[in-house]
Amino acid sequence: MTKFKAVIFDMDGVLINSEPLWKIAEKEVFSSLGVPVTDDLVHITSALTAQEVCAFWYERHPWQGMNFNEVEDAVVARVIELIGQNDTKMAGVIETLQFFKNKNLKIGLASNSSHNLIEVVLEKVGIKKYFNFLSSAEDVEKGKPDPAVYIYAAKNLGVSSKECLVFEDSIIGITAAKNAGMTVVAIPAPDDFTNDKFKIADYKVSDFLSFLNSDYIQQLL
């Protein structure tokens, strides 16, 4: 009998390969405001909330004419537009969700993205029906790496943190889940896979298909 009663997924970079789309939107919107956006700094902002991204760039290069909410809305709107134009679903997502559904585990989502974007992504990928609860950084005081969004998800799934298995792609997200007391499977981006920082995760796989065909399933479940 499995020791887990729920599995919780991050969204960006886990269920959907949206990181490149965020970078495009971020560069377009902030460059239009006169902010000198660089690839190195965009990489740093990849796991932040849209609100935190606005604060990050404003601190480095204050702009005129648009307030934080307007800029945040512009970035999210552009990401939504790009998601509609691209097929970015991660390989093995549906198979993995079905696997856990067949095991009768509750399925949740914990994302730094807004509910608006979460709804768009899940509808686009066709996987909303699998989820028992959706949690966003909007629901808590602080986003990842604070554990609040994971603790909130577990509470609303009706399980304890130690009964949750989490899939994350970023160090910030893994830190949040580990600090919530959960077991974490890391799915790093290919160019980040060998990064020693991912050792804080309990397990590491290259993608969902590797997970489904690995010995990890037997060890975990």
Q: Sheet of 133-136: strands edge to edge?
A: 133-136, 106-111, 6-9, 164-168, 183-186, 203-204
Residues that are catalytic: 10, 12
For 111, the token pair is 């994302």
Query: Could you give all domains of the chain from N- to C-terminal order, each with its CATH number?
Result: 6-17+89-220 (3.40.50.1000), 19-85 (1.10.150.240)
Please report, in tens digits, the pLDDT of each residue of the chain (221 residues total).
468 999 999 999 999 998 888 889 989 999 999 999 888 888 778 767 788 888 899 998 999 888 888 998 899 899 989 988 888 889 999 999 999 999 999 999 999 998 999 999 999 899 999 999 999 999 999 999 999 999 999 999 999 999 999 999 999 999 999 999 999 999 998 888 999 999 999 999 999 999 999 887 777 76
The H-assigned helical ranges of 110-147 are 115-125
For 15, the token pair is 């269920």
